[in-house]
Amino acid sequence: MNATPPTLPPRGQWPRLLLAVPAASVRALAEQLTHTLQVEDLHLPQSGLGLLSLRDSALNDTYFPGEIPVSRAHVRVTAGSGIPVEGAAQLLDDRASLARAIAVIDAVLAGQLPGFAQVLPLLQAGQARLDADKRVRQALLSTTRVDFSLIGTEQDDDND
Amino acid sequence: MGYVAIKGGGRAIQGADAALDALRTREGEQGTPLSLDTIENQLRLLTSRVISEGGLYHPRLAALAIKQMQGDTLEAAFALRAYRSTKPRLLQTPVQNTANMRLIRRISSAFKDIPGGQMLGPTPDYALRLMRMDLADESPEAFRSMAQRFLDDVPASDLPDSFPKVVDALRAEGLLPALENTTQEAFDITREPLVFPVPRSAALATMARAETGSLLAIAYSNMRGYGDVHPTIAELRVGYLPVMLPHPVTGEPVEAGEVLMTECEVVAMYENEDGSGTPTFTLGYGACFGHNEVKAISMAILDRALQKGMRDGPGNPSEDPEFVLLHVDGVDSMGFASHYKMPHYVTFQSDMDRLRTTQQKQAQSEPSTPGDCA
């Protein structure tokens, strides 16, 4: 029986999935991909801060609760004499090298460039890690859900 | 105040650094250095506090600051702020919606049946404050198996990641004022000084990175009677906020990461002082980085108190924006207290000279007593 080939998640999820796996794996794969691809930096990779903007739920005012680490990169990737594909990443992470690696992978996935298939297992590993985190969070909620109907019954019993 | 440059302290200062490290490592060969992962996970509430008071969501660096400052939260927050001041600001995020928070805890003291239900999550609220002696001699094996055992005992769940907000339900029932669309640009306290009066966004930002104890102390004054907020917690939520940034190529929103936050809305006394319109409850709002419940509640109470003070003039300290906002920052207040440890030799010399002169003048002006005559 043939295994079903993994489907590609939407582009908007790629950074989250890649951030969920060890950064060394992402960097190593991006490095490996660049052996057969031409990568040009459209903007130099940067790391710094982002000002987080929220809206309060009492009066609908916008305010800044603080800052977050941000890194970003924007590249153009070309395979042989093919059409160049742009890839980019903006991460809540202060490692510019990781942002560049994810930007390269973003281009490879978006253009289905050579090496595309090697990225899919990494995305799957990221999804598995996120699923595990989700399971923990759901366990924190489900094991502590308050059943007020039971409390009501016991109080009634006490009142009797 | 005056200061005087002194020399000769360099060796002493180097010695002080070494002395600090000597105490940190005094367990000697039996000791194990604290890993940042250990601090971040096992001292997660301490890490949360430093993230929040440092104003930078960087749990790993907060853990490092805690290690470096040997557990001093004020100094750790100071280190985090110093770090952030060395980094360029690359962007301001689009406005994020906290209704999308992936919750690990949500409670309400206003209603028992809130939409989606109440889930206590990780909290010591209902635990007896008795010492758990078993933790004093915890075996690594037991420690390592605990989290897995917790998961093994939990059946699969299909709970959603996020839940509707209680205040939205109250608003739908007409018990809260309708939300107005505000277009005012938020105040950036890291770039602009607080010159009063300040907009509410400046107050929220200042309190979000305030020192927890300072915020609590002033909110407590309101709770005890120097104020009349009389809050009820509509909802207290702890969870991870997905931060969405536009993809640089497609412009589509992409999740860049997530931020652990605590958020609280308190319902306060209803108002209809001018008699126009329908009377509704008033609201206070608090939110900050990390898992910091007392801070978020204190902030929500003070937000409501400050709204009243900004509108009607302060009736007590907790309603006075200048009093509250200029005294809750831990790095500011710790810095001022600590600066008294710096040499004040010139000013104190001057104080002594003045005192001696005053004493001499007083002695000269006093009439001599008869017994003094030989």
Please tell me whether residues B216 and B286 are part of one structural domain.
yes
Please tell me whether residues B112 and B64 are part of one structural domain.
no
Q: Which two tokens stand for residue B293?
A: 């419940």
Establish if A111 belongs to a structural domain: yes
Q: What is the mean pLDDT of residues B290-303?
A: 98
Position with higher pLDDT, B274 vs A92: A92
pLDDT of A160 higher than 60:
no
- Check CB contact of B285 with chain A, cutoff 8 Å: yes
Position with higher pLDDT, B9 vs B19: B19
Task: Name the pLDDT band for A158 (thresholds 50, 70, 90).
Answer: very low
* pLDDT given for residue B339 in this prediction: 95
Q: Which residues of A touch B307 (CB under 8 A)?
A: 59
What is d(CA B25, CA B64) in angstroms, rounded to the nearest whole number?
16
Identify the residue whose tokens are 């440059």: B5
* pLDDT given for residue B269 in this prediction: 84
Q: Are the beta carbons of B84 and A67 separated by less than 8 Å?
A: yes
Q: Which two tokens stand for residue A153?
A: 């019954």
Q: Are the beta carbons of B180 and A60 separated by less than 8 Å?
A: yes
Q: For residue B171, what are the domain limits? A: 98-123+132-334
Q: What is the mean pLDDT of residues B111-118?
A: 91
Q: Are the beta carbons of A74 and B201 separated by less than 8 Å?
A: no
- Check CB contact of B127 with chain A, cutoff 8 Å: no
DSSP readout, A67-100? EEEEEEEEEEEE-TTS--EEEEEEESSS-HHHHH
Task: Report the share of chain B in percent with pLDDT over 90.
Answer: 82
Q: What is the mean pLDDT of residues B222-237?
A: 95
pLDDT of B92 higher than 70:
yes
Q: Are the beta carbons of A65 and B181 separated by less than 8 Å?
A: no
Please tell me whether residues B109 and B197 are part of one structural domain.
yes
Compute the count of residue pairs across chains A and B with CB atoms less than 8 Å apart.
241
* pLDDT given for residue B247 in this prediction: 97
Position with higher pLDDT, A4 vs B365: B365
Highest mean pLDDT among A141-150, B96-105, B171-180: B96-105
Q: What is the mean pLDDT of residues B207-230?
A: 96
Q: What is the mean pLDDT of residues B118-128?
A: 95
* Interface test mutation site (partner B, options A14, A46, A61, max chain B beta carbons within 10 A): A61
Establish if A90 belongs to a structural domain: yes
- Check CB contact of B209 with chain A, cutoff 8 Å: yes
Please tell me whether residues B115 and B44 are part of one structural domain.
no
Mean of all residue pLDDT scores within chain A = 91
pLDDT of B60 higher than 70:
yes
Establish if A100 belongs to a structural domain: yes
Residues 6 or more apart whose Cβ sits within 8 Å of residue B72? none
* pLDDT given for residue B374 in this prediction: 44
What is d(CA B236, CA B51) in angstroms, rounded to the nearest whole number?
19
What is d(CA A119, CA A30) in angstroms, rounded to the nearest whole number?
9
* Interface test mutation site (partner A, options B60, B167, B245, B265, max chain A beta carbons within 10 A): B245
Please tell me whether residues B137 and B75 are part of one structural domain.
no
pLDDT of A72 higher than 70:
yes
* Interface test mutation site (partner A, options B252, B255, B266, max chain A beta carbons within 10 A): B255
Lowest mean pLDDT among A146-160, B23-37, B116-130, B281-295: A146-160
pLDDT tens string A18-37: 999 999 999 999 999 999 99
Establish if B113 belongs to a structural domain: yes
What is d(CA A21, CA A127) in angstroms, rounded to the nearest whole number?
9
CB contact burial B339-370 (16+ within 10 A = b; e otherwise)? eeeeebeeeeeeeeeeeeeeeeeeeeeeeeee
What is d(CA A108, CA A120) in angstroms, rounded to the nearest whole number?
11
pLDDT of B156 higher than 60:
yes
Mean of all residue pLDDT scores within chain B = 93
- In chain A, the number of structural domains is 1
What is d(CA B189, CA A64) in angstroms, rounded to the nearest whole number?
8
Establish if A5 belongs to a structural domain: no
Establish if A16 belongs to a structural domain: yes
Identify the residue whose tokens are 């042989």: A80
Establish if B354 belongs to a structural domain: no
Please tell me whether residues B62 and B198 are part of one structural domain.
no
Q: What is the mean pLDDT of residues A104-130?
A: 96
Residue B164: DSSP 8-state: -
Establish if B310 belongs to a structural domain: yes
Establish if B208 belongs to a structural domain: yes
Please tell me whether residues B140 and B46 are part of one structural domain.
no
- Which of A54, A91, A139 is facing B151, going by the closest CB pair? A139
* pLDDT given for residue B273 in this prediction: 55
**Of B271, B242, B236, B267, residue with least CA distance to B256:** B242
- In chain B, the number of structural domains is 2
- Check CB contact of B102 with chain A, cutoff 8 Å: yes
CB atoms within 10 A of CB A12: 14
- Which of B99, B159, B186 is facing A63, going by the closest CB pair? B186
Establish if B368 belongs to a structural domain: no
Helices (H), chain B: 10-24, 36-42, 44-54, 59-68, 73-84, 140-152, 166-172, 200-208, 212-224, 293-312, 321-325, 330-339, 345-365
Position with higher pLDDT, B10 vs B102: B102
- Which of A74, A93, A138 is facing B157, going by the closest CB pair? A138
Establish if B181 belongs to a structural domain: yes
* pLDDT given for residue B356 in this prediction: 97
Establish if A52 belongs to a structural domain: yes
What are residue B258's DSSP bridge partners?
B242
Please tell me whether residues B79 and B115 are part of one structural domain.
no
Please tell me whether residues B148 and B224 are part of one structural domain.
yes
Q: Are the beta carbons of A60 and B257 separated by less than 8 Å?
A: no
* pLDDT given for residue B277 in this prediction: 77
Measured torsion, CA atoms of residues B331, B332, B336, B341, in degrees rounded to the nearest 10:
20
Minimal CA separation from B105 to chain A, in Å = 7
Establish if B7 belongs to a structural domain: no
Q: What is the mean pLDDT of residues A125-151?
A: 91
Q: For residue A149, what are the domain limits? A: 11-159
Please tell me whether residues B186 and B227 are part of one structural domain.
yes
Q: What is the mean pLDDT of residues B143-170?
A: 90
Task: Name the pLDDT band for B55 (thresholds 50, 70, 90).
Answer: very high
